[in-house]
Amino acid sequence: MSILVNKDTKLIVQGITGREGSFHTAQMVAYGTKVVAGTTMRKTVDNVEGAPVFNTVKEAKEATGANASVIFVPAPYAADAILEANAAGLDLVVAITEGIPTSEMIRVCRFIRAGKTRLIGPNCPGLISPGECKVGILPSDVFMPGTVGLISRSGTLTYEIVDELTRSGLGQSTCVGIGGDPMLGSTFSDLLPLFDTDPQTKVIVMVGEIGGSDEETAAKIIPQLSKPVIGFISGRTAPPGKRMGHAGAIISGTSGTAQAKVEALENAGVPVAETTHDIPKLVREALSKH
């Protein structure tokens, strides 16, 4: 099994005719993802990679029975694209778009959390259940089916750590990049319980970074989980007081610092890797104990 996506996922690509949308549609189709439709504001083609193109998500869903979408719509229109997918009643929406204003995402998240649609992102690489379905921009060649679940705020670190796991013979159940923005559709705390109830997942790797308090919040629920969690926090060497690149990397007092996050996780019984190279060893140790 897996969480959120699998071989039965039927995907709509919002913004399918754009440069990024069309390129990554081809990549997802090549991986085996069932891309059943695309949408665009001004329809100029009938299909992309065999997927019919519609003007609205509602039309696409009614024609194809789609249950998920991925958004490659430019930032000025992306918030409305998320709300359109939500209004159509899709189960899952993955927003790849970077640069959506935080003020707009506050409004979007309020609507999303009042309904049944699950939002991943924005400003994220998407997610993958290796061997079954890829939604987003992740480089599929580094992933391998297995029992390690992974959640990460950083796209690049996701690929690096998964490559370490795969080279060590540790395959993955599902890997989710939640994004680095301050306002996210799904947090660590939202997704950890899904991995905990997934029969395929035996251990969870949680990859955080400086800024925000998502990792500290997640540390409060980790002791309630039945499966072991391995942690990693990037940004330990960041200069104190210096604002870093990610929009979510905002530190307030001691909250949001690498030290505060590491301490919170360790107090919750989570082994925290010093470097990415340490993660496969900690995963193997956790698997041997459970």
| pTM check: above 0.75 | yes
Which CATH class, in words, describes the domain spanning 10-120?
Answer: alpha beta
pLDDT at residue 247 in the model: 46
Domain with CATH 3.40.50.261 in the chain: 139-289
Q: How many CB atoms lie within 10 A of CB 284?
A: 14
**Which residues touch 122 (CB under 8 Å, ≥6 apart)?**
71, 78, 82, 95, 96, 97, 98, 100, 105, 179, 181, 184, 185
Beta bridge partners of 177: 126, 152
Q: Catalytic site residues? A: 246
pLDDT above 90 for 198: yes
Domain with CATH 3.40.50.720 in the chain: 10-120
Nearest Cα residue to 132 out of 226, 198, 205, 71: 198
**Tens digits of per-residue pLDDT, 98-118?**
999 999 999 999 999 999 999
Which CATH class, in words, describes the domain spanning 139-289?
Answer: alpha beta
Average pLDDT over residues 114-143: 97
User: In the chain, what is the greatest distance between 2 CA atoms, to the nearest angstrom?
Assistant: 57
**Tens digits of per-residue pLDDT, 221-253?**
999 999 999 999 997 665 565 555 554 555 544
Contact 17, 53 (CB under 8 A): yes
